Structure 1
């Protein structure tokens, strides 16, 4: 199976939107706090500005979440597991991976890769959680990742 295209795992559209709205909600709280502070110590913003203080950050967060979500993911190929996100990238060659399992971390179930050095790496995708973070295909994706790891660790891909 030489030259097979790598398997790619990315956050779902629902997860991307949820992450963006979460960031937008944090921005909306910050902008509303600023608006309330200004209103307490002087003349407050006009009525339409309050709507802009809420909707602006929410929309900006949704767009930022979509852009970041498309750059975040995991690529599994012949060389190993490569992770990428907006801020960092990493690679774990198959020779260093000793275990791969789904684990509960906070409110999410994520995939962790354990290396021969004793370190563990949490993959950016796939993951599953509540509401917008739910991934109905999570178990299938974990099974596919586990199968790819076992195939490389114990004798190559079947062909």
Structure 2
């Protein structure tokens, strides 16, 4: 298993797009809110500018979500589980992982890794939820993660 390439789990393109749209909506609310405040104290932007504020924010958010989705993920290899996101990275060596399971957190099903220190780490991928967060292969990915963990934890499966 030492020579095998690591397994990688990333948000699906649909999940990355949905996350980007969410960020885009937040940006649209902020930009339209700022434009409303400016309009209250002076002349407001022209009519076409309101649509540009909303659509531009949504477009920028969707593109940013797709770009961030390529950097966010989990890599499982011989050394352990490596998580990466836009802002941070972390490694959990196999010797510290005592349990790995799928859990319901809010409106999503996520994979949590429990460490020997008692801490739990929620993996960035795979996950599944409603609408854009749905991943039809979530159970297969959890099974693959569980199999990899058990193989490293217990020294492989009997043949």
Which of the five TM-score ranges fits, normalised by the shorter chain?
A: over 0.9
**Number of matched pairs:** 159
Mapped pair 1:120 → 2:124: no
Is contact 1:148–1:157 with CA below 8 Å preserved after alignment?
no
The CA RMSD over aligned residues, in Å, is 1.2
The one-character-per-residue Cα deviations of 1:15-57 (angstroms, maximum 9, x if unpaired) are 0000000000000000111111111121111011011110111
Structure 2 unmatched runs, 5+: none
Which stretch of the first structure deviates more once superposed, 39-48 or 111-120?
A: 39-48
Is contact 1:103–1:109 with CA below 8 Å preserved after alignment?
yes
Cα shift at 1:156 = 3.0
Cα shift at 1:158 = 6.5
Match runs of 1:89-128 below 5 Å: 89-128=89-128
SS in 2 for 1:156: coil
Cα shift at 1:66 = 1.0
Q: 2:81 — aligned with what?
A: 81
SS in 2 for 1:17: helix
Length-normalised TM-score, structure 2 = 0.97
Mapped pair 1:34 → 2:34: yes
Aligned CA distance change for structure 1 residues 122 and 41 (closer, same or farther; 3 Å): same
Q: 1:133 — aligned with what?
A: 133
Q: After the TM superposition, which parts of structure 1 deviate over 4 Å for at least 4 consecutive aligned residues?
A: none
